[in-house]
């Protein structure tokens, strides 16, 4: 274990690895030192502890108790962090929801998690108004800004109350669930991943270790807080005592000015952002910054070489998932283009065949993982004991990712065993997109699959079998999907086929369609100029 991570592990012994303990201890240690910046607003460690206690007091006054779930659907703003730490302080379980969620996707998350309370912002209220009544089981909706609607179906909607009351901190344990994050489903709806408190401790400690962070570092992220990546970054800052700037969103034109203005030394990207930055016209000030490291999971081999050459900043590929942690990638170890790096010493990794037998180095197989520290991985899937047992069978978590381990110990990502799609940094459930397409009256059958994107990840493509005598415009199908799906899930490519290729047991042979790719008759949404609503 590295010296910095070992120091953190000693500072927070196994029984004290909870978010509320970290908040209290760090407020005592660092006091008025800045931990977060949102625009012009600076938050100290002491401020953060007080915000947590006061938000917990407001939740408690509203009837929320330890173990209750609180849904949180908003963009990157201080109130997101306030609610996140406030839930931890009270012992409630926060359920962050992607702000692009719509229709059946959103209804599933709310029904499945059954929150006591929903926290959001006015931009999202119309989305909830469109949901069926039974998809809103919560008693109350709080808006962080004055809401334009008095009521959303059966849930009272009001402005979030003042935080006047201080709640006592909960007696949380490391294995207690702190959050439920929904991740892409492939054979069913999205699954709620149950993250224990200690998993968040290890997200921070592992990040500090792998990136070689020091208290003098200034971190910068423009990634959404409802995903684990930005939460991971927040825990690094909280544990180490360094400063983190959280941007509202990524802006191609605003990225480098913000990096310079904040004097950031470490930034957090995803593979889809790097081609956008590389695609801009070269400038004389491309290397005028304080960055020493850019953390970028999922970066392509070509961009891994091109980005440092142009911007004079080291790139670090990495591997992790909501269910696991930061398992691979180290700034102080060599990393070949396309490599995920070496497995962290706190974890074990194997490459296995379909029968879970380990395969020799150089042989592709599924990546399976397990932790050496208690509660350093997720606890399972909410309300899905069968899926939990399947994913954690034989005491290893099965990632669904196909990799190869080279003789020197570095891992290379090949593709996905599971049928998920990754577009613009978002994991997409093909099942959920197919479900929406099949509900269209003109579509008899549909299958959804990934095709390569020029940005290095995937584009969403759908093959459709039309109902008998049906006639429909492709753009009408796009607009229909837009009503029921997050914008990034809407297929870019649509293709009509007579029949879907299937196996003897009726399963669609998606590999056949993937191999055919984007054909001459395929509809391409981008060629129409139509802009999806976000």
The parent domain of residue 212 ranges over 197-416
Instruction: Note the pLDDT of residue 343.
Output: 97
pLDDT reading at 400 higher than 70: yes
Domain final residue, candidates 172, 205, 225: 172
Instruction: Note the pLDDT of residue 468.
Output: 85
CATH classification at residue 116: 3.40.50.980
Shared domain for 408 and 494, answered yes or no, is no
Instruction: Note the pLDDT of residue 377.
Output: 98
β-sheet bridge partners, residue 341: 411
Shared domain for 272 and 336, answered yes or no, is yes
Instruction: Note the pLDDT of residue 129.
Output: 77
pLDDT above 90 covers a percentage of the chain that reads 72
Position 188 in a domain? no
Shared domain for 472 and 426, answered yes or no, is yes
Structure token digits, residue 474: 């492709």
Instruction: Note the pLDDT of residue 418.
Output: 67
pLDDT band at 151 (very low <50, low <70, confident <90, very high): low
In angstroms, the CA 457 to CA 459 distance is 7
CATH classification at residue 224: 3.40.50.12780
Residue scoring higher pLDDT (191 or 301): 191
Shared domain for 366 and 296, answered yes or no, is yes
pLDDT reading at 505 higher than 50: no
Query: Mean pLDDT throughout 259-281?
Result: 92
Shared domain for 411 and 425, answered yes or no, is no
CA nearest 350: which of 397, 386, 288, 299? 397
Position 72 in a domain? yes
Position 327 in a domain? yes
Domain final residue, candidates 360, 389, 416: 416
Instruction: Note the pLDDT of residue 184.
Output: 66
Position 277 in a domain? yes
Strands 458-466 and 493-496: parallel
Position 41 in a domain? no
pLDDT band at 504 (very low <50, low <70, confident <90, very high): very low
Shared domain for 440 and 411, answered yes or no, is no
Position 459 in a domain? yes
Shared domain for 430 and 375, answered yes or no, is no
Query: Mean pLDDT throughout 254-260?
Result: 98
pLDDT reading at 506 higher than 70: no
Q: What is the CA radius of gyration of the chain?
A: 23
Position 397 in a domain? yes
pLDDT reading at 199 higher than 60: yes
Lowest pLDDT segment from 175-184, 328-337, 503-512: 503-512
Shared domain for 350 and 203, answered yes or no, is yes
273-282 as b/e, with b when 16 or more CB fall inside 10 Å? bbbebeeeee
Position 326 in a domain? yes
pLDDT band at 187 (very low <50, low <70, confident <90, very high): low
Shared domain for 233 and 338, answered yes or no, is yes
Instruction: Note the pLDDT of residue 188.
Output: 63
Residue scoring higher pLDDT (364 or 285): 285
CATH classification at residue 426: 3.30.300.30
Query: Mean pLDDT throughout 389-400?
Result: 96
Cβ neighbours for 164, distance < 8 A, ≥ 6 positions apart? 54, 57, 58
In angstroms, the CA 533 to CA 490 distance is 11
Query: Mean pLDDT throughout 319-323?
Result: 95
pLDDT reading at 186 higher than 50: no
Sequential DSSP letters for 206-246: HHHHHHT--TT-EEEE-S-TTSHHHHHHHHHHHHHT-EEEE
Domain final residue, candidates 122, 156, 172: 172
pLDDT reading at 381 higher than 60: yes
pLDDT above 70 covers a percentage of the chain that reads 95
β-sheet bridge partners, residue 11: none
pLDDT band at 503 (very low <50, low <70, confident <90, very high): low
Return the H-helix or E-strand segment holding 429.
Answer: strand 426-429
Sequential DSSP letters for 253-307: TTHHHHHHHHT-SEEE--TTHHHHHHTSPP-TTTT-S---EEE-TT--HHHHHHH
**Sign of the torsion angle spanned by Cα atoms 495, 498, 504, 507:** positive
Shared domain for 216 and 313, answered yes or no, is yes
pLDDT band at 155 (very low <50, low <70, confident <90, very high): low
In angstroms, the CA 511 to CA 494 distance is 16
Most confident of 133-142, 315-324, 438-447: 315-324
Lowest pLDDT segment from 287-301, 393-407, 453-467, 477-491: 453-467
Shared domain for 411 and 480, answered yes or no, is no
Q: Report the number of distinct structural domains present in the chain.
A: 3
User: Burial, 314: exposed, middle or buried (Cβ in 10 Å; 0-12, 13-18, 19+)?
Assistant: middle
Instruction: Note the pLDDT of residue 16.
Output: 97
Query: Mean pLDDT throughout 285-290?
Result: 97
Instruction: Note the pLDDT of residue 185.
Output: 53
Greatest C-alpha distance within the chain: 71
Instruction: Note the pLDDT of residue 435.
Output: 80
Shared domain for 305 and 389, answered yes or no, is yes
């Amino acid at each position: 274990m590295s010296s910095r991570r070992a120091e953190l592990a000693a500072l927070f012994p196994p029984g004290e690895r909870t978010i509320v303990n970290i908040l209290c201890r760090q407020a005592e240690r660092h006091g008025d030192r800045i931990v977060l910046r949102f625009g012009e607003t600076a938050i100290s460690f002491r401020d953060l502890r007080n915000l947590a206690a006061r938000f917990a007091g407001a939740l408690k006054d509203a009837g929320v108790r330890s173990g209750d779930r609180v849904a949180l659907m908003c963009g990157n703003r201080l109130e997101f962090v306030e609610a996140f730490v406030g839930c931890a302080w009270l012992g409630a379980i926060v359920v962050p929801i992607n702000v692009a969620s719509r229709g059946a996707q959103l209804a599933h998350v709310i029904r499945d998690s059954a929150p006591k309370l929903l926290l959001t912002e006015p931009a999202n209220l119309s989305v909830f108004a469109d949901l069926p009544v039974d998809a809103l089981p919560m008693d109350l909706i709080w808006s962080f800004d004055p809401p334009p609607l008095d009521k959303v179906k059966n849930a009272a909607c009001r402005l979030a109350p003042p935080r006047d009351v201080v709640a006592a901190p909960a007696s949380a344990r490391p294995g207690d669930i702190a959050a439920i994050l929904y991740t892409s489903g492939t054979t069913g709806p999205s699954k709620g991943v149950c993250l224990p408190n200690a998993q968040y401790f290890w997200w921070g400690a592992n990040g500090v270790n792998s990136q070689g962070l020091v208290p003098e570092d200034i971190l910068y992220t423009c990634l959404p807080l409802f995903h684990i990546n930005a939460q991971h970054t927040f825990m690094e800052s909280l544990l180490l005592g360094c400063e983190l700037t959280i941007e509202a969103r990524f802006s191609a034109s605003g990225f480098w000015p913000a990096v310079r203005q904040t004097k950031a030394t470490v930034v957090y990207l995803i593979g889809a952002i790097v081609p956008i930055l590389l695609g801009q016209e070269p400038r004389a000030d491309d290397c005028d910054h304080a960055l020493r490291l850019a953390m970028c999971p999922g970066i392509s081999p070509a961009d891994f070489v091109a980005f440092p050459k142009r911007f004079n900043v080291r790139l670090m590929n990495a591997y992790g998932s909501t269910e696991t942690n930061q398992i691979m990638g180290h700034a102080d170890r060599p990393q070949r283009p396309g490599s995920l790096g070496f497995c962290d010493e706190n974890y074990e990794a194997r490459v296995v065949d379909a029968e879970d037998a380990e395969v020799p180095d150089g042989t592709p197989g599924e990546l399976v993982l397990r932790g050496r520290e208690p509660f350093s991985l997720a606890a399972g899937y909410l309300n899905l004991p069968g899926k939990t047992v399947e994913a954690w069978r034989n005491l290893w978590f099965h990632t669904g990712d196909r990799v190869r381990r080279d003789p020197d110990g570095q891992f290379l990502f090949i593709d996905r065993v599971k049928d998920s799609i990754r577009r613009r940094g978002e994991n997409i459930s093909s099942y959920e997109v197919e479900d929406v397409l099949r509900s269209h009256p003109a579509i008899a059958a549909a299958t959804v699959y990934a095709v390569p994107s020029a940005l290095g990840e995937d584009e969403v493509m759908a093959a459709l079998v039309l109902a008998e005598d049906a006639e429909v415009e492709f753009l009408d199908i796009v607009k229909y999907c837009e009503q029921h799906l997050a914008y990034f899930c809407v297929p870019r490519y649509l293709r009509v086929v007579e029949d879907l290729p299937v196996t003897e047991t009726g399963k669609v042979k998606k590999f056949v369609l993937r191999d055919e790719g984007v054909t001459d008759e395929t509809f391409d949404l981008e060629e129409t100029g139509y802009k999806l609503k976000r």
